[in-house]
Structure 1
Amino acid sequence: MAGANLSETEVSRTRFEGTDLSKADFTKALGWRANFGQANLTGAVFSSADMNRSNFAQVKGTGANFSKAELNRSDFSGADLAGANMSKAELARVLFQSARVTGIDFSYSNLSRARLDGLDLQGVNLTGSYLYLTQFGGANLSGVTGLTQAQVDIACGTAQTKLPAGLTAPKTWPCKDEEE
């Protein structure tokens, strides 16, 4: 299915796990609870797609375009997303545990309550991102761009979280665990 045109299609609950979807076009597709686990999404386009609560665990998604996509409560655990475009995306409560996120463009995205614990965010763009209770416990943020003190103040980190020069951990760190 490499290069498939699935633009504006309904793919909710479809099982794509392990499928080669490199350079596939899912622009404006609707795919609630779709399963892309371990799929090859290299260079795939999900721009303006609605993929809430979908499984992207362990996908190969280098250079994929998720700009303006709705991905709330999706799972990207263990995914390789290096260089992906997630600008202006809805990523509330998304899981990124053990994911490779270097060089991702998260500019102007909603990352509220997303889990980025322990990740190396080298080259990640956080300009204008909404980071309310975003979990950065033990993450390396020293190489991110666009991060402000106001964003850090509403995010969650730990003593092990590395911040860029000039930014300081707020007294509210670590945040209290909250109920799902």
Structure 2
Amino acid sequence: MNNESSLSALKVPLERLQRLEPIRTWQVEVRAAQLQDLEAPLHIGDVLVPSDHLVVIDLVLDKVSEGVAVSGKIAVNWAADCARCLRQIDGEATAEVEELFEQDPREGESYLLGDEFLDLAAMVREAILLELPVGVVRCVDSQECSDAAPSYGAGKNDPSGETPESEMRDPRWAALDELVFDEE
């Protein structure tokens, strides 16, 4: 898929919405690289949409008095490292969209309706970014994750790996162990 055909897949010709039997659905697949804004990859924190992954766009277009209403789903696979065991995790983000394209867009509320084309790129990019996980990402199977995670402070002589409570104490807090409270 070349760059120009991918970009044109994100531009809907408005004349096709004005026909006697207008198009109602717009279903395309584009590479995530086509949605990059000024060479910035699609990512939030450590969660990234690799540029070679496909973005599946399935939309319904309706001509309304204000412009064009767009609704549907946008799906993409993402990748991140588990915060605990550092294995690569893959997941899917699916965004449900209901947006309005109009001649005089209101910032944050609607998108610009062009003279000849409805450019979906900005809407698709924003929908994907809003659906990516934010914060700590962990493995789905916690047992698998805990098996792979390094065990810090494991007992040196104990084959079970259990550490006696006295070895787990932080020496900086030792003075607090000496505090005695009177019971009333």
RCO (CA 8 Å, sep 6+): is it higher in 1 or 2?
2
Larger Rg: 2
TM-score between the two structures when normalised by the length of structure 1: 0.20
Structure with greater helix share of residues:
2
Structure with greater strand share of residues:
2
TM-score between the two structures when normalised by the length of structure 2: 0.20
